Amino acid sequence: MASKAPSSQASGAEPDVSEDSARAREELRGRIKGSGPLARDTEASSSRGAAGRSQAHESAIKHVTGRAAYIDDLRAPTDALHVALGLSPVAHGRLTRLGLEEVKALPGVVDVIAIADVPGHTDIGPVFPGDPIFVEDEISYVGQVLFAVAAESHRTAREAIRLAVVEIDEQPACLDPVAAAQRGEFVRPTHVQQSGDWEQALASAAHVVEGEQFVGGQEHFYLEGQACLVQPTEDEGVIVHTSNQHPSETQKLVAEVLGIPFHAVTVEVRRMGGGFGGKETQASPWACIGALITRRTGRTTRVRLPRADDMRATGKRHPFHNRYRLGIDDKGVILGGELTLIGDCGYSPDLSDAIVDRAMFHSDNAYSLGEARVTGHRARTHTASNTAFRGFGGPQGMMVIEAAMDDIARRIGEDPLTIRKRNLYRPGRQMTHYGQQVDQIALLHELIEQLETSSEYWARRRAITEFNAESPIVKRGLALTPVKFGISFTAKHLNQAGALLHVYTDGSVMINHGGTEMGQGLHTKICQVVAQELGLDTEEVRITATRTDKVPNTSPTAASSGADLNGQAARDASRKLKARLFDFAHEHLYRDQGLDREEMRLEAGHLIAGHGESERRIPWGELVQAAYLNRISLSEKGFYATPLIHYDRNTGQGRPFYYYAFGAAAAEVSVDTLTGEYQVDRVDILHDVGDSLNPAIDIGQVEGGFIQGMGWLTSEELKWNDAGRLISDGPATYKIPTYGDLPPVFNVKLMEGHPNSMASIYRSKAVGEPPFMLGMAVWSALRDALASMTDYAEAPRLDTPATPERVLLAAETLRARYTPWPLVEEEG
Ligand code: MTE
Ligand code: HPA
Ligand code: MOS
């Protein structure tokens, strides 16, 4: 490939791009059309008055020029060790012999460790026990770690792995969560939420609709795989650099595995090349293994998983099997019924209790279930332990009620959008099945009406119906689906955050907080918050890495709550410091000038006191200098804990969420019913982020979330063979969406004029996860296209991912039942 070719618009500031990518960029320029600007086109406005304005990601230039350092880019001493992992080749059995003599003997191998070499805890389960750091006896999945090798090079470490003698008494593996649930094989007890008399509601209903579905899992496919770099410190400690959403938990586990106090372990995260939930708990094992080797050898240790190992060893989004039975009235409005969700948790609890809970909390999506019972099972199977993934069970739960909406529409003979609108939470039907009132209902209705209009839903509906009547093979489909997503960790204690603010004597500002940066723009938003409070440009505020020795005992950056929690903590620190500076200015700088302390403000790089004639201004730098010389502390910490939330798991009732974020998407597809191939022709999105902290970043989150959700429901198919070995273990066999999968018409807008009804940071709303579930519109549109083959009498079951194979199978089933073959009538 030609390198260093000048780019089409080479300029001093722009880095070189290769000829190929320059050409590709040229070809794609302007091909993606939408009325609203996509994230890359949003105008960056002046950074004065920082919060609420579009600003580029704090590392944007570094991301695109390759200067942003990820774990593998960090420099290490030349004698750093490289680790490879010995993984179980079978899904279930007993380890009867692990012979590592030849592994140890290979030149270049420095250390080999297994379960007997762990001085402290051997179970590193994050919430509940169940995750041994190395297999002791029982093997629970293909890819479970048996031992680790540290060598002078990664290649040597990998070669050494193959010399191990592994003998296993293999036993049958269970890969079917429904069978596991029937046998009562659970990783955690079943939980039930119930409101009213669901049996009575079913018995008295005009119609009963029922169905079942299998909803597939999803590989995180973060671009940066699991990786860490561990350095020894004085005494018995370690510093762990890791690609990790939960540094404090890794600190705890590393300390426990080594048998040392938490303060001897420092965990640092500058940024991740994507996390998506896959690094909330499952970045820790590699840090623990690296730390063990570092402490045993006294040498810096690198652990990074090759993609295939990463995909085998780590858990994924939980696949779910969902069933519903709902009583409806003549208009298709749900009166009540029962929903049963079975989450496939893999071999251990990990976060599954909270994930299946969140699926249950979201099995209503934006609709009132009436008098309903929701049951959530946590099935144990012999796969990697499934874990957090954008939406955290919410998407899997919503799928059941969206399936029901389409099915109700066909039963009643109305458009699915009409049925969806009829079932939305509304005044008088405002209470969820777990006892939380849905706030901002008017916003939800208005959002859907706006999208209905801007997407020209009804005109396109007519056009599609006409098209389908004339088109026997290619069928078009359309769907508009809402999202309501609860914001807060459902584990109440996690809803807290801390921040540490330093002002240096040149006036530059350093903010640290408990959140981690994974590409979502959290650090940018936190800088904006501090800049806003202190009246500075965002460039004057810097965040470096997240470190456990700066802000302790942090929650994971998860549940979309990073900006909500840490933004408030950073604001708290800023306000306290500001108050101290005002007191100082009032007493020392403006003594006897009659200026009102309460009217002081920090604006545009100045402390301003008084108004009009008597206005006084001091530049920020001078203020800071003066405060320093007068021995006023220029450092402050902040804290925040979300108010009002609670949930009683004994009764299944409470108010688990501080607020809800809303959104809706309209998707149009065309399906070739003879091959199952399809394309997404147009997508319109309207999404609620309250008063956005940063519209450019938020639109980026909405676009990315939607596309990732679409990938989950369409092309991303996890495949295991009968022995439980993952066979979709790389990009060749596992298809995530690419640039070319963007819909050719993609209109993305943020809802305006609706600040958060709760006192969130500047009345913004969390944005990380909710847009993921907008992808459901594509799946529902596929069902709509297929339903046209029945003249809209029924919507076929369409399990996910709805790959072309699955779409084809559904189409063939429908054609056999509805269309006399051959398609073209024979003559004579
Ligand atoms: N965006 C990017 N670019 N990369 C990611 O890994 N993770 C998502 C979302 N958006 C993710 C992302 C998930 S799963 C969550 S919970 C939130 O970001 C976490 O960050 P926040 O709370 O700061 O929004
Ligand atoms: N969401 C995401 N991650 C979590 C949660 C949650 O509700 N609870 C614990 N970890
Ligand atoms: Mo996100 S799944 O809560 O890390």
Contact 645, 488 (CB under 8 A): yes
Q: Confirm or reject: Cβ of 358 under 6 Å from ligand 2.
A: yes
Pull the structure tokens for residue 95.
Answer: 């380890």
Closest ligand 3 atom, residue 245 Cα: 4
Q: Map residue 15 onto helix, strand or coil.
A: coil
Residues in the chain: 828
> Where do the structural domains in the chain lie, given as residue ranges?
72-173+220-313, 320-490+649-817, 496-641
Task: Give CA angle at 452 (446, 457), nearest 5°.
Answer: 170
Is any atom of ligand 3 closer than 6 Å to the C-beta of 316?
no
Identify which of 530, 498, 528 has the alpha carbon closest to the alpha carbon of residue 513: 498
Cα dihedral 600/601/604/610 (nearest 10) = -30
User: Candidates 276, 516, 543: which one to mutate for ligand 1, based on the most atoms within 8 Å of Cβ?
Assistant: 276
Which-ligand-closest: CA of 772?
A: 1
Residue 393 half-sphere exposure toward CB, CA atoms < 13 A: 29
In whole angstroms, give the CA distance from residue 442 to residue 353: 33
Is-contact 68 59, C-beta < 8 A? yes
What is the C-alpha radius of gyration for the chain, rounded to an integer number of angstroms? 28
User: Closest ligand 3 atom to the C-alpha of 391?
Assistant: 2
- Closest atom of ligand 3 relative to the 768 alpha carbon: 1
| CA nearest to 270, candidates 586, 625, 685, 547 | 547
- Mark whether 152 is an active-site residue: no
Q: Tell me if 489 CB under 6 Å of ligand 2.
A: yes
Ligand that lies nearest to the alpha carbon of residue 705, given by its number in the listed order:
1
Is the distance from the beta carbon of residue 277 to the nearest atom of ligand 3 less than 6 Å? yes
- From the CB of 392, is ligand 3 less than 6 Å away? yes
Residue written as token pair 């398609």 = 823
CA of 700 to the centre of ligand 3 (A): 17
444 vs 219: CA distance, rounded Å: 31
**Reduced 3-state DSSP string for 703-714:** HHHHHHHHHHHC
Contact 337, 327 (CB under 8 A): yes
Q: Of 334, 333, 414, 400, which is closest to residue 792 (Cα–Cα)?
A: 414
Q: List per-block mean pLDDT (blocks of 10 residues) for the chain, which spans 828 residues.
A: 38 48 55 46 49 91 96 97 98 98 98 98 98 98 98 98 98 98 98 97 98 98 98 96 98 98 98 98 98 98 98 98 98 98 98 98 98 98 98 98 98 98 98 98 98 98 98 98 98 98 98 98 98 96 96 98 98 98 94 88 96 92 97 98 97 98 98 98 98 96 98 98 97 95 96 95 97 98 98 97 98 89 54
Mutational pocket test of ligand 2: of 127, 128, 490, 561, the residue with most ligand atoms within 8 Å of the beta carbon? 490
Tokens at 406, concatenated: 């389409």
Query: Is the distance from the beta carbon of residue 367 to the nearest atom of ligand 3 less than 6 Å?
Result: no
DSSP 3-state of 31: coil
Phi/psi for 583 (5° steps) reads: -60, -45
List the residue whose alpha carbon is closest to atom 4 of ligand 3: 277
Cβ distance 267 to 252 under 8 Å? Answer: no
Angle at 611 between CA 610 and CA 615, to 5 degrees: 60
The CA 40 to ligand 1 mean position distance, Å, reads 18
The CB density around residue 706, as the number of other CB atoms within 10 Å, is 29
* Residue where the block lists tokens 């030849």: 102
- Does ligand 3 come within 6 angstroms of the Cβ of 354? no
DSSP letter at 439 equals P
The rounded distance, in Å, linking the Cα atoms of 795 and 332 is 15
Tell me what pLDDT residue 14 has.
43
Secondary structure E strands in 105-185: 109-113, 138-139, 145-151, 165-170
Give the Cα-Cα-Cα angle 60, 65, 69 (nearest 5 degrees): 75
Q: Which of 769, 805, 812, 827 is catalytic?
A: 769
- Please name the residues in contact with 755: beta carbons below 8 A apart, sequence gap of 6 or more: 690, 691, 763
Q: The domain 496-641: what is its CATH number?
A: 3.30.365.10
Distance 212 CA to ligand 3 centre (A): 26
Q: Does residue 151's CB lie within 6 angstroms of at least one atom of ligand 2? A: no
> How far, in Å, are 337, 662, 687 from residue 439 at the CA level?
24, 11, 16
The gap from C-alpha 220 to its chain's centroid, in whole angstroms, comes to 9
- Tell me if 344 sits within 8 A of 316, measured CB to CB: no
Ligand (nearest to CA of 350):
2
628: Cβ contacts below 8 Å, ≥ 6 apart: 505, 634
Instruction: Determine the Cα–Cα distance for residues 31 and 100; give it in Å rounded to an integer.
Output: 57
- Please report which ligand is nearest the Cα atom of 220: 1
Which atom of ligand 3 is found nearest the CA of 279?
4
The response to whether residue 559 sits with its C-beta less than 6 Å from ligand 2 reads yes
Distance from C-alpha of 800 to C-alpha of 807, rounded to nearest angstrom: 10
Please answer whether residues 229 and 207 qualify as being in contact, where contact means their C-beta atoms are separated by less than 8 angstroms: no
531 in helix, strand or coil? Answer: helix
Ligand 2, atom 8: closest residue by C-alpha: 489
The number of the ligand 1 atom at minimal distance from the alpha carbon of 559 is: 16
**β-sheet bridge partners, residue 337:** 326, 372
Let me know: does 669 contact 476? Beta carbons within 8 Å.
Answer: yes
pTM value?
Answer: 0.94
What separation in Å is there between the alpha carbon of 358 and the centre of ligand 3? 12
DSSP-derived letter for residue 429 is B
Give the residue among 409, 427, 429, 524 at the shortest CA–CA distance from 783: 409
Q: What does the buried/exposed string (b/e) look like for 602-628 if buried means 16 or more CB atoms within 10 Å of the residue's CB?
A: beebbbbbbeeeeeeebebeebbebbe
Q: How far is the CA of 656 from the centre of ligand 2 (A)?
A: 12
Under a CB-based contact definition with an 8 Å cutoff, are residues 713 and 800 in contact? yes
Task: Tell me the helix, strand and coil percentages in the chain, rounded to 5.
Answer: 35, 25, 40
CA of 557 to the centre of ligand 3 (A): 7
Distance 4 CA to ligand 2 centre (A): 45
Contact 144, 87 (CB under 8 A): yes
The best mutation among 276, 434, 493, 494 to test binding of ligand 2, ranked by most ligand atoms within 8 Å of the C-beta, falls on 494
Name which CATH class applies to 72-173+220-313.
alpha beta
Could you tell me if 681 and 672 are in contact, meaning their C-beta atoms sit under 8 angstroms apart? Answer: no
For ligand 2, what atom is nearest to the CA of residue 491? Answer: 8
Question: Comparing 72-173+220-313 with 320-490+649-817, is the CATH topology the same?
Answer: no
705 CA distance to ligand 1 middle (Å) = 9
Ligand 3 centre to CA of 560 (Å) is 7
Of 210, 269, 209, the C-alpha closest to 239 is: 269
For residue 476, the surrounding DSSP H or E stretch is: strand 474-487
What is the structure's pLDDT at 592?
A: 81
687-215-736 Cα angle (round to 5): 65
Enumerate residues lining ligand 1, CB below 6 A.
274-277, 390, 515, 518-520, 522, 557-563, 701, 704, 766, 768-769
Ligand 2 atom having least distance to the Cα of 489: 7
Task: Please tell me the distance between residue 244's alpha carbon and the centre of ligand 3 in angstroms.
Answer: 12
User: Helices H, strands E: what count in the chain?
Assistant: 20, 29
* pLDDT at residue number 823: 55
Mutate to test the pocket of ligand 3, among 218, 269, 279, 280 (most ligand atoms within 8 A of CB): 280
User: What separation in Å is there between the alpha carbon of 656 and the centre of ligand 3?
Assistant: 17
Chosen CATH of 320-490+649-817 out of 3.30.365.10, 3.60.21.10, 3.40.1350.10, 3.50.50.60: 3.30.365.10
Which residue's CA is minimally distant from atom 1 of ligand 2? 559
Q: Give 310's contacts (C-beta < 8 A, 6+ positions apart).
A: 225, 226
CA distances from 773 to 179, 276, 394, 445, 823 (A): 28, 14, 8, 18, 37
Q: CA 212, CA 323: separation in Å to the nearest integer?
A: 4
Cis peptide before 770 (omega within 30 of 0): no
Q: Report how far ligand 3's centroid is from the alpha carbon of 240 (Å).
A: 22
Among residues 257, 221, 209, the alpha carbon closest in space to that of 236 is found at 257
Is the CB–ligand 3 distance for residue 559 below 6 Å?
A: yes
Residue whose CB lies within 8 A of the most ligand 3 atoms, among 390, 489, 554, 712, for a mutation test: 390
Calpha distance 544→560 (Å, rounded):
21
- The pLDDT score that the predictor gives to residue 50 is 76
Q: HEC string of 753-764?
A: CCCCCCCCHHHE
Name the one residue in this structure whose structure tokens are 């942003």: 68
Distances (CA, A) of 6 to 1, 17, 61, 67, 494: 13, 7, 19, 20, 50
Residue 390 near ligand 3, beta carbon < 6 Å: yes
- The CB density around residue 549, as the number of other CB atoms within 10 Å, is 13
Element (H, E) at 499: strand 496-503
C-alpha pair distances (Å), 704 with each of 29, 39, 71, 700? 19, 10, 23, 6
C-alpha dist (Å) from residue 37 to 247, 454, 615, 740:
36, 15, 41, 18
Q: Could you tell me if the CB of 39 is within 6 A of ligand 3?
A: no
Ligand 2 atom closest to Cα of residue 490? 7
- Closest atom of ligand 1 relative to the 519 alpha carbon: 3
Give the closest ligand to the alpha carbon of residue 562.
1
What is the spatial order of strands in the sheet that 474-487 belongs to? 474-487, 659-672, 678-687, 745-750
The finding on whether 620 has its CB within 6 A of some atom of ligand 2 is no
Phi-psi region of 198 (alpha: psi -120 to 50; beta: other; left: phi over 0): alpha
- Collapsing DSSP to helix, strand or coil, 421 comes out as helix
The preferred substitution site among 355, 518, 523, 707 for testing ligand 1, maximizing ligand atoms within 8 Å of CB, is 518
Separation of alpha carbons 4 and 23, rounded Å: 14
The C-alpha atoms of residue 768 and residue 135 are separated, in whole angstroms, by 35
Distance (angstroms) between ligand 2 centre and the Cα of 497 equals 14
Pairing of strands 145-151, 320-328: unpaired
